[in-house]
Structure 1
Amino acid sequence: MPMSVDTLRQHLEEAFPDAEIAIEDLAGDGDHYRARVVSTAFAGVSRVRQHQMVYAALKGQMGGDLHALALETSAPSGEA
């Protein structure tokens, strides 16, 4: 069963409560998304680790309920 945008957003908001989150359904199937997550949690953290943090927030659903997720992560402007 695909993951809804609302469920994806809920997971991200729980893990990154201060985040600005933008989600786009790339294929209209609830299975392929692009997400942009801007959070202070990413300050000073490598891009690889930022993505690992997002995958951890999805609680093992990546590759199952969620087939593909194109990620763009960053700290807010002015944060390292």
Structure 2
Amino acid sequence: MAIGMILTPIYLFIIYVTPDVLWIYKLFNVPNINFVDFGPRELFILICIFLPVIGIGIYPDFVLSLSVDRVEALLSNYYPK
């Protein structure tokens, strides 16, 4: 895990500073004005993923309460009262 924590930022930095990887339009001499980062479809998907993640982060009890009975049943097998 430590090796991964060291190599990952190095790898991401190399990819970030290499213009051929992130800015592919420079390879084909195409102006940047024709490229859009994302459209309405990608924005909708981003919101559909982003809102539940933020909601669970702010109020995790809603998701955790769904599994309380199952966890208690499993723990009762190992730790009887």
* TM-score normalized with structure 2 length: 0.21
Q: Which has the higher strand share?
A: 1
* TM-score normalized with structure 1 length: 0.21
